[in-house]
Chains A and B, each alone.
Chain A
Amino acid sequence: SQTIHQWPATLVQPVGSPLSLECTVEGTSNPNLYWYRQAAGRGLQLLFYSVGIGQISSEVPQNLSASRPQDRQFILSSKKLLLSDSGFYLCAWSGGLAGGDTQYFGPGTRLTVL
Chain B
Amino acid sequence: AQSVTQPDIHITVSEGASLELRCNYSYGATPYLFWYVQSPGQGLQLLLKYFSGDTLVQGIKGFEAEFKRSQSSFNLRKPSVHWSDAAEYFCAVGASGTYKYIFGTGTRLKVLA
The answer to whether the Cβ of B11 comes within 8 Å of any Cβ in the partner chain is no
C-alpha gap A94/B90 in the complex (Å): 17
Q: Which one of A49, A88, A100, A105 lies within 8 Å of B94 (CB-CB)? A: A100
A108 lies within 8 A of B41 (CB): yes
A13-68: which have CB < 8 Å to B? 32, 34, 36, 41-44, 46, 49, 51, 57, 59
C-alpha gap A30/B37 in the complex (Å): 26
A99 lies within 8 A of B43 (CB): no
Q: Flag A69-105 by CB within 8 Å of B: 1 or 0 each.
A: 0000000000000000000101010100011111111
C-alpha gap A108/B88 in the complex (Å): 15
Which of chain A's residues have a CB closer than 8 A to the CB of B41? 88, 108, 110
The 9 closest A-B pairs by CB, nearest first: A105-B43, A99-B94, A43-B105, A44-B103, A105-B44, A99-B95, A100-B32, A99-B96, A107-B43
Chain B nearest CB, measured from A99 CB (Å)? 4
Number of chain B residues whose Cβ lies closer than 8 Å to a Cβ of chain A: 28
Chain B nearest CB, measured from A30 CB (Å)? 12
A105 lies within 8 A of B45 (CB): yes
C-alpha gap A108/B36 in the complex (Å): 15
B99 lies within 8 A of A98 (CB): yes
Q: Which one of A57, A90, A100 lies within 8 Å of B44 (CB-CB)? A: A90
B97 lies within 8 A of A43 (CB): no
Which of chain A's residues have a CB closer than 8 A to the CB of B94? 99-101
Interface size of A as a range: 20 to 34
Q: Flag B18-50 by CB within 8 Å of A: 1 or 0 each.
A: 000000000000011010100001111110010
Q: Which of B36, B101, B102, B106 has the most CB of A within 10 A?
A: B101
Considering only CB atoms, which chain A residue lies closest to B52 in the complex? A100
A32 lies within 8 A of B99 (CB): yes
Chain A nearest CB, measured from B29 CB (Å)? 10
Which of chain B's residues have a CB closer than 8 A to the CB of A49? 99-100
Q: Which one of B42, B45, B100, B103 lies within 8 Å of A99 (CB-CB)? A: B100
The answer to whether the Cβ of B98 comes within 8 Å of any Cβ in the partner chain is yes
Q: Flag B38-67 by CB within 8 Å of A: 1 or 0 each.
A: 000111111001010000000000000000
